[in-house]
Amino acid sequence: VSTAIPGVPFLFVGDSRTVQMKTAVGSTDKAYVAKVGEGYSWFKNSALPQIPNYAGNGTTMIINFGVNDLANASKYIKLVNSNIDAWTAAGIKVYYAAVTPVKNCKTVSNDQIERFNAKLKSQLDPRVTWIDGYSYLKQNGFSTGDGLHYNNSTYKSLYSYYMSVIDA
């Protein structure tokens, strides 16, 4: 007989946008495994081994990677799908947050983001719930200083949207 280890209520795993969301909304009842400028390799080699330190029975995990390496959609799909059995068995509810839009960004286009999101949404295991923050921000607007990252009010709004999807 094994008992699942309880985890934090919410675990956010991602890149600089996740780091900045932490700054905007804080970390009470939440944990973050996130690093600026990272993508697939960091997720696989550094973030993945840290997930069991925070996530357990009752944890909701929100994964948010892709904007730094949109060409790796297939790798993200394979990595998440290959871990979903273990996460589900541990009592972790998994969400993947869509890569959100950019505005006048030199390195990334919304067309690239839309292709990445469409591929993930259609090929992730059905036990991974999709959170469409891309459409949410396109419909509700967002503020960005550098074209890629948002201001605190946009991160707070996006966080509230994530929580409304999770609570639904």
Of the pLDDT bands very low, low, confident and very high (cuts 50, 70, 90), residue 103 is very high
pLDDT digits (tens, 9 = 90+) for 110-130: 999 999 999 999 999 999 999
Nearest to 140 by CA among 118, 112, 160: 160
Sheet holding 128-131, edge to edge: 30-34, 10-14, 60-64, 93-97, 128-131
Alpha-carbon distances, residue 113 vs 96, 103, 162 (angstroms): 14, 12, 18
pLDDT digits (tens, 9 = 90+) for 134-146: 999 999 999 999 9
**What is the overall mean pLDDT for the chain?**
95
Longest dimension (CA), the chain: 55
Res 148: pLDDT: 95
| Beta strands 60-64 and 10-14, pairing class | parallel
78 has pLDDT over 60 = yes
pLDDT digits (tens, 9 = 90+) for 9-58: 999 999 999 999 999 999 888 999 999 999 999 999 999 999 999 999 99
